[in-house]
Structures are given as structure tokens and as C-alpha cells.
Amino acid sequence: MRRLFFVLIFIVFISCDVYDKKSLENTEVLDNFETYFLNNEVADDDMIISVNGFIDSLNDADDNRYYLLSESHRILGYCHYTKCNFNVAIKEYISALKFSDKVKDNQNLKGDIYKNIADVFYDCENYTLAKELYFKSLDYCLNSLDSNNIVHDYRRIGNICYYLSENENPDTLQYYMQKSMNFAKNEEPLISALYMALTTAFHQKEKLEGLSPNRMKGISLLPDNRIAMNYSLNSYLSVLYQIEGDIDGAIKHSIIALGSDNMIKQMSAHKQLSDLYLINGDTISSVYHDIKYDSINDIFSEYKRAASAAENLLHEYEKESQNVVNKNGDSYFIFMISTLIIIMTLSFLILIKKKRRTVSKKYFSERWDRFTLSDIFLSIKDKCENESDLSAVNVSASMICLKENEKMNLEKMINLCFNNFVDELRKTFPELNKGEIDYCMISLLNISEIHKAALLGLSYQGCVSRRKRVVEKTKMSNINEDLMSFLQKHNDNII
């Protein structure tokens, strides 16, 4: 047995160790997927195959299975998003949302997914829907204080307000950019991008007083790492140099931005270069980049149309989620109503029970005044010579000395009285079983005189043992206290 015990302990230990290692491996895989995009703007086919393979490897035994499925589908959606395959990206994001619904603490997860979906519609220039989704992402991120997502969401909302020309000034943009900076902390690349975005906005809205300070802050924080971020910052720098009148410097930074693998950034860079070369008088180069822009834009337009069709999938998910919420609400309402009905019913039954007990006790007390067992024992005492001669033997002898008809009459009287007593007791306290009723009869006699029960055909020892046994049993009775006090009250009045 000891060997078996240690073998079982060893198996459990090994199982836990394997379980922990598997959980750690899954976490490391997700971290590697995230790290991939720090140095790669666009996912290659190998990356997509790896994520799909990871999803297929998950099974019911994996720790946090639904979280892993949700996060991996989100990453897979992001892979397709970087390739501008928006239709497939949205489908993967919706799968991620569905799995996230089964995760207990899903605030960060939901925030990430809605941010990613909002990015799709932002790039597709569906700004109204994108703004709505960014605010939804913020609802989750602010609850979990996910600063990276909050910075991103506020910045994009500010840009949308700018693109939609809300109030025809950059103040709304500046408001959201400032909120974004409040959460950016020491993320210099993010802060640099924010200042440059503000500079661009002030320039285009002809708010000249805001140009120089924001430009200087943006340039001072310009990072020299994070390739994906640098392409975006070089695009901003191109605009800044254009503002300063340095067209050659602007062209230089637009060419750097053109090195991005991202289709949208390539389009933006081609558009900038077309305009810059035109300003510089290089018509051929301007037309070349304009043609490149149109060519990429035609492909991108197809992706945007596919994303527009996939928008219905998002609305269907939102509708299903709302139906689930409503259904849960209805179920909760039904549960509460049912609970309330049960509580009211139980309360009503308890009131009836209490009322019945009150009436029963009152009736029993009234009945007791008219009916006691004293008649039985007084008759017995009349047949005895004195009080000290009440041993079981003498009582039995006194019964023998009786004439047959007297003995029969006495037994009939005893049986009649006890039957009446038992009937009344059963009516008054229907909860009592036969053993408890016997105890009630026996307890009406003092311990020193319990041998009188021999007249009822019970031995002294039998009465004592039954009394002891039933005492323990009646302690469990709800009416034990009332019944005991009642019997104790009348005990001394019997004999």
C-alpha cells in the first residue's frame, strides 16, 4: 500500500509538472507571435501557418483553452490585417470575440480585439464605425487600465475627429491627443508620433502658433528603433520638412517611408512623393508615383469592398451577443420571480404552521384541564395500603388481589384513558412518532414511580431505556422545547 501511495504521488507530481510546462510553452508561443510584429510590418506565409498550427494543437486539456483560442485567432486576424486581407481578418477577429465570451477575466482581451477591428474600418475609411469601435475598446481598456491600447484608441479617435472635420478646427484632435499623451508615459515613439500628428493638423488647419513647439517635441523624441514605427514617423517627418520649405528633406523621408511593406503606408508615401516632386518641378517622377498610387489604390479598393461585406458579420455577432445578454436577463428575471414565489410560499406555509401550532397548543391546554391521567393512578392508589407500598411487585400483587371483573374494569379504564390521551396527543402534535408518544406518557411519571407503568404491561427497565432513548431522539424535534416544558409543567400534578 505504501509503495502504491508513493507511486500515485509521483504520477500526480509528474502530471502537474507536465501541465505547468505545457501552459508555459503556450504562453511563450503567444509572446513569440507578438514579438514578431515588432520587427515585421507584414506577416509572411510561414507566420500564418505557425499560428494556424498552434490553433490546431490546442485541445480540451490545455489550460486557459478559450483564452488561448481567442488570443491566437486575434493574432491570426492581425496577420491577415497586415496583408490588407480585411475580410478574413474580420472573420478571425469575430472568432476571437466568440471565444473571449467564454473567458472569465476578458477585459484586456476584448479591448485588444475591438481595437484591432476598429483599425480595419479606420484603414477602410469607415470612420463612423471605427470611432464607435474605438470607444467600445476604451470601455474595456479603461476598466483594466491597459495604457498601450488607451493611447492608441484616443489617438485614432482624435484623428477621426480631424478627418471628419468636427467643429472645423483641430481642438477636438488636440483634446484626444492630450488624453492619449496622459497614458503614453515614457513611450517616446508614441509621444513623438502624437506630437507630429498635432503638427500636421495645425499646419493643415493653419494654426501656425502650434507648429513649432509640437514639431520640436516630435523630432526630439524620434526613435532609432522599431522599424514599423519608423516608417510612420518618416511619413510625419516628410510633412514637417515640407512645412519648413525643405522639399528635398521631405522627399528623403517619404522615400524612407516608401520602404514599408504595408500597402497603406506605401500608398501614403507614393501620394506624398507625387505631390513633392510636382512642387519640385519633376513632372515625370510625380506622374510615376501617381500611377503607382493609383495601381495600389485599385487593389486596396477591392480589399475595402470585402471589408464592407464583412461588416455584416460583425453586426450579426453584436446582435447574437445582445440576444444572449437579453436571454440571460430574462433567465435571471424568471429565476428571481421563481425564487420570490418560493420564498412567499414557504413564508405562507410557515405562518400556517405557526398558527396551527398555536391553535393546537391552546386546544391541548384546554383539553388538559378537563382530562388528566390522575384518574388512573388515583384508582391504583385506592387499591394500595399506603404510599410506601408502591413497588412494582406490590402493585402487581394488588392487581392480583382484585376481583376478575374489577381487574378487567381497571384495565379497560386504563386503556381507555391512555387511548384518549394518545389520540389527543397525535392530533395536537402530528410530528411525534409512536416512540415519542410513549415517552410523553412515561415522562408524566416521576422517575421514582416509573414502575407504575408495569400496570400498562411495561417493565421498569424497559421504561427507563425507552425514556433515555427517546429523550435523545426528541432533542432533534422542532417542538421538543415546547413539549418538554409542557410535560414538565404538569408532571408534578399527575400523582
Q: What is the pLDDT of residues 125-168, one digit of tens each?
A: 888 888 889 988 888 887 766 677 787 888 788 878 877 765 54
Please give the angle made by the CA atoms of 238, 239 and 243, to the nearest 5 degrees: 120
Angstrom distance (rounded) from CA 120 to CA 83: 11
The pLDDT of residue 34: 75
Distance CA 300, CA 85 (A): 9
CA–CA separation, 447 vs 491, rounded Å? 11
For 208, residues 6+ apart whose C-beta sits below 8 A from its C-beta are: 202
| DSSP 3-state of 186 | coil
Contact 417, 380 (CB under 8 A): no
| Band of residue 288 on the pLDDT scale cut at 50, 70, 90 | very high
The residue to which cell 498635432 is assigned:
198
pLDDT at 194: 62
d(CA 432, CA 429): 6
The percentage of residues in the chain with a pLDDT greater than 70, rounded to a whole number, is 51
Instruction: Specify the residue for cell string 388515583.
Output: 378
From 339, 342, 450, select the one nearest 391 (Cα to Cα): 450
Number of residues that make up the chain: 495
pTM, 2 dp: 0.57
The confidence band for 365, taking pLDDT boundaries of 50, 70 and 90, is very low
The answer to whether the CB of 93 falls within 8 A of the CB of 307 is: no
pLDDT at 384: 38
Average pLDDT over all residues of the chain: 68
Query: Shortest CA distance to 458 belongs to which of 400, 413, 418, 403?
Result: 418
Is pLDDT at 426 greater than 80 in this prediction?
no
CA pair distance 139, 104, nearest whole angstrom: 17
**DSSP letter (8 states) at residue 208:** G
Dihedral, CA of residue 471, residue 475, residue 481 and residue 484, to nearest 10: -10
> Which residue would you say has higher pLDDT here, 288 or 454?
288
Mean pLDDT value of segment 225-250: 72
Domains and CATH numbers, the chain: 17-304 (1.25.40.10), 371-491 (no CATH)
